[in-house]
Amino acid sequence: MTAKEYLNRVRRQYYVVKRAEEELTAIKADILSLKASSMTEHVSGTKESDLADKYIRLERYFDTVTAEWDKLIDMRIEAKAMIRTLPDETQQAVLYARYINCGRWEDIAAGMNYSWKHIFRLHGKALQSFAAIHQSALDN
């Protein structure tokens, strides 16, 4: 695996978590609208148990989101430790901004007061340094 592939795993996991959180929010909203509609209807039946079942399923989905968060936190801790071993602090900052904070290139360039071109050059050098230092970990 390359340094970029390794670091992109962290970035992708962030988006997995965000999508799962968005789905969880949508499911909560759907359940709340079901609850509101069931309160206005006075029909006998199993509406209460159906709603309880949905809450149980929501809890299971919440557990899934929590597991994805745990995975992201573990990945970030490992990647941060590896990034900190780079001797150049500017290269560390570029990798941290891109892969840990999931920054966009234009935001990273503006935040560091560099041109895009220079950020890409720094990024390339940072990946080379990262790969040289952590080659054995990347090979596993």
Higher pLDDT pick, 113 / 42: 113
pTM of the model: 0.79
Average pLDDT value over all residues in the chain: 88
User: Which residues span the domain enclosing 88?
Assistant: 3-139
Alpha helices in the chain (DSSP H): 3-40, 47-83, 89-95, 105-112, 116-139
pLDDT of residue 24: 87
Per DSSP, 46 falls in state S
Give which of 59, 55, 51, 65 is closest to 23, Cα–Cα.
65
With a cut of 80, say whether residue 139 has pLDDT above it: yes
Q: Which two tokens stand for residue 37?
A: 């509609």
Residue pLDDT, tens place only, 81-113? 999 999 999 999 999 999 999 999 999 999 999
- Neighbouring CB atoms inside 10 A of 69's CB total 15
Banded pLDDT at 35 (limits 50, 70, 90) = low
Ranges 14-18, 39-43, 88-92, 104-108: which has the least confidence: 39-43
Measured between alpha carbons, how far apart are the two ends of the chain, in Å?
Answer: 8
With a cut of 70, say whether residue 49 has pLDDT above it: no
Amino acid at 16: V
Contact 61, 24 (CB under 8 A): yes
Q: Which two tokens stand for residue 58?
A: 């929501």
